[in-house]
A and B are shown apart, each in its own frame.
Chain A
Amino acid sequence: MSSLSIKKIKQLIDSKSLTAVELASLYLQRIDQLNPELNAFITVDREKTLLQAKEVDRAIAKGDNTALMGVPLAHKDIFCAKGWLTTCGSKMLANFVAPYDAHVVEAFNHSGAVTLGKTNMDEFAMGSSNETSYFGPVKNPWHLGRVPGGSSGGSAAAVAARLAPLATATDTGGSIRQPAALCGVTGLKPTYGNVSRYGMIAYASSLDQGGLMAVSAEDVAYGLNIMVGHDERDSTSVKREVEDFTAPLNNSLKGLRIGLPEEFFKEGVDADVAQAVERAIQELEKLGAVRVPLTLPNTSLSVPVYYVLAPAEASSNLSRFDGVRYGHRTHDYRNLIELYEKTRAEGFGAEVKRRILTGTYVLSRGYYDAYYLQAQRVRRLILQDYLQAFERCDVIVGPSTPSVAFGFNEKTSDPVSMYLSDIFTISVNLAGLPGLSIPIGFGDSHLPVGLQLIGPHFSEAKLLNVAHQYQLVSDWHQQLPTGIAQV
Chain B
Amino acid sequence: MSLSDKELKHLARLARIHVDEDELGPLREQLTRVFQLIDALQAVDTTGIEPLSHSLSINQPLREDKVTEENLRDSYQSIAPQVEKGLYIVPKVIE
Residues of A within 8 A of B (CB): 95-97, 99, 192-193, 206, 232, 235-236, 238, 300-301, 303-305, 307-308, 315, 319, 322-329, 333-342, 344-345, 348, 353-354, 356-358, 360-362, 364, 370-371, 373-381, 383, 414-416, 419, 430-433, 457
> Is B31 a contact of A378 with CB atoms below 8 Å?
no
Question: Which A residue sits closest to B19, measured CB to CB?
Answer: A345
Given known pairs A325-B80, A344-B16, the reply for A304 and B41 (CB within 8 Å) is yes
Residues of B within 8 A of A (CB): 8, 11-19, 27, 30-31, 33-42, 44, 46, 49-56, 58, 60-61, 63, 72, 75-76, 78-82, 88, 90-93
Give CA–CA (A358, B81) in the complex, Å: 28
Please name 13 further chain A to chain B contacts, defined as beta carbons within 8 Å, in addition to the given A193-B58, A374-B44, sorted by A numbering.
A96-B79, A322-B16, A335-B91, A336-B90, A339-B90, A339-B91, A342-B18, A376-B52, A379-B51, A381-B46, A430-B55, A431-B55, A457-B56
> Is A360 a contact of B14 with CB atoms below 8 Å?
yes
* Residue in contact with A344 in the complex, picked from B18, B42, B50, B80, CB distance below 8 Å: B18
Residues in chain A near residue B88, CB distance under 8 A: 324-325
Give CA–CA (A138, B26) in the complex, Å: 26
Give CA–CA (A378, B41) in the complex, Å: 8
> Is A301 a contact of B50 with CB atoms below 8 Å?
no
Residues in chain B near residue A364, CB distance under 8 A: 11, 14
> Is B55 a contact of A235 with CB atoms below 8 Å?
no
* Residue in contact with A99 in the complex, picked from B15, B49, B58, B76, CB distance below 8 Å: B76
> Is B72 a contact of A432 with CB atoms below 8 Å?
no
> Is A341 a contact of B11 with CB atoms below 8 Å?
no
> Is A377 a contact of B38 with CB atoms below 8 Å?
no
> Is B38 a contact of A304 with CB atoms below 8 Å?
yes
> Is B38 a contact of A383 with CB atoms below 8 Å?
no
* Dominant SS among interface residues on chain B: loop
Give CA–CA (A371, B15) in the complex, Å: 18
Residues in chain A near residue B40, CB distance under 8 A: 300-301, 304
Residues in chain B near residue A381, CB distance under 8 A: 44, 46, 49
> Is A348 a contact of B17 with CB atoms below 8 Å?
yes
Residues in chain B near residue A431, CB distance under 8 A: 55
Give CA–CA (A463, B50) in the complex, Å: 30
Give CA–CA (A361, B53) in the complex, Å: 18
Give CA–CA (A333, B89) in the complex, Å: 13
> Is B37 a contact of A232 with CB atoms below 8 Å?
no
Residues in chain B near residue A319, CB distance under 8 A: 16
Residues in chain B near residue A329, CB distance under 8 A: 81-82
Given known pairs A360-B15, A378-B44, A378-B46, the reply for A308 and B56 (CB within 8 Å) is no
* Residue in contact with B58 in the complex, picked from A232, A238, A304, CB distance below 8 Å: A238
> Is B75 a contact of A206 with CB atoms below 8 Å?
no
Question: Which A residue sits closest to B75, measured CB to CB?
Answer: A99
Residues in chain A near residue B11, CB distance under 8 A: 357, 360-361, 364
Question: Which A residue sits closest to B10, measured CB to CB?
Answer: A364
Residues in chain B near residue A307, CB distance under 8 A: 34, 37-38
> Is B51 a contact of A415 with CB atoms below 8 Å?
no
> Is A345 a contact of B17 with CB atoms below 8 Å?
yes
Q: How far is the CB of A347 from chain B (nearest CB, A)?
A: 10
Residues in chain A near residue B30, CB distance under 8 A: 354, 414-415
> Is A380 a contact of B52 with CB atoms below 8 Å?
yes
Give CA–CA (A323, B82) in the complex, Å: 9
Q: How far is the CB of B7 from chain A (nearest CB, A)?
A: 9
Residues in chain B near residue A430, CB distance under 8 A: 55
A-B contact pairs, 16 of them (CB 8 A): A238-B56, A238-B58, A323-B81, A324-B80, A326-B76, A344-B15, A345-B17, A354-B27, A354-B31, A364-B11, A364-B14, A370-B42, A374-B41, A377-B51, A379-B51, A414-B33
> Is A236 a contact of B17 with CB atoms below 8 Å?
no
Residues in chain B near residue A348, CB distance under 8 A: 17
